[in-house]
């Protein structure tokens, strides 16, 4: 990755961190789960409003954490709204592969373009948990588990 692209990705991450999208509790949620990364103290709570047809009508998050954690949650909420639960789970799988530096064939088109900003996390294994915390909380919310498992 060339330096100008790396710098652009860093700017996108910082923008999402400083101005997170869909931030705050969602009063009419049907699903909710919390995630905590004890290694760095990041905390997130994901709120989902899922309709009877298993489509995510709305999504939000609240919490505090490092720039990567908050940016990842913000990006995730932008991508999930309007998706089916099955699409959300597939997107999560692709994202997990991306931040671990693995094959991301499942991510295509705009999804890949938007999430590519987080690919650099794979070079910093300790930061992978920061990037995936919100995604694990989203999965826990969809499974009505209440608390995310980040292993």
* Neighbouring C-beta atoms of residue 145, cutoff 10 Å: 15
d(CA 71, CA 68): 5
Is it the case that residue 3 has pLDDT exceeding 80? no
State the CATH number of the domain containing residue 130: 3.90.1010.10
- Render pLDDT for 68-116 as a digit per residue (tens, 0 to 9): 999 999 999 999 999 999 999 999 999 999 999 998 888 989 999 999 9
Per DSSP bridges, beta strands 31-37 and 42-50 are: antiparallel
**Residue at 147 is within a domain:** no
CB 9 within 8 Å of CB 116: yes
The parent domain of residue 123 ranges over 3-142
Give the residue with greater pLDDT, 149 vs 90: 90
**Residue at 151 is within a domain:** no
Number of domains into which the chain is organized: 1
Strands (DSSP E) found in the chain: 31-37, 42-50, 56-64
Whole-number pLDDT of residue 58: 97
| Tokens 């720039």 belong to residue | 67
- Render pLDDT for 30-44 as a digit per residue (tens, 0 to 9): 999 999 998 889 999
Between the alpha carbon of residue 143 and those of residues 77, 89, 117, the distances in Å are 17, 11, 28
**Residue at 22 is within a domain:** yes
Whole-number pLDDT of residue 150: 63
Report DSSP state, residue 147: B
**Residue at 150 is within a domain:** no
pTM of the model: 0.92
pLDDT bin (cut points 50, 70, 90) of residue 56 is: very high
**Residue at 75 is within a domain:** yes
**Residue at 105 is within a domain:** yes
- Render pLDDT for 121-141 as a digit per residue (tens, 0 to 9): 988 888 999 999 999 999 999
């Amino acid at each position: 990755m060339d330096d100008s692209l790396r710098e652009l990705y860093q700017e996108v991450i910082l923008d999402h961190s400083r101005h997170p999208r869909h931030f705050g509790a969602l009063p009419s949620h049907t699903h909710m789960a919390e995630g905590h990364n004890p290694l760095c103290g990041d905390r997130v709570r994901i709120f989902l409003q899922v309709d009877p047809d298993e489509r995510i009508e709305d999504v939000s998050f609240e919490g505090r954490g490092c720039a990567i954690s908050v940016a990842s949650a913000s990006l995730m909420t932008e991508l999930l709204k309007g998706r089916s639960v099955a699409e959300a789970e597939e997107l999560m799988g692709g994202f997990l592969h991306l931040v671990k530096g693995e094959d991301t064939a499942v991510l295509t088109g705009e999804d890949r373009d938007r999430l590519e900003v987080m690919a650099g996390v794979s070079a910093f294994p300790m930061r992978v948990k920061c990037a995936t915390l919100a995604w694990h909380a989203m999965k826990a919310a969809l499974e009505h588990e209440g608390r995310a498992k980040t292993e």
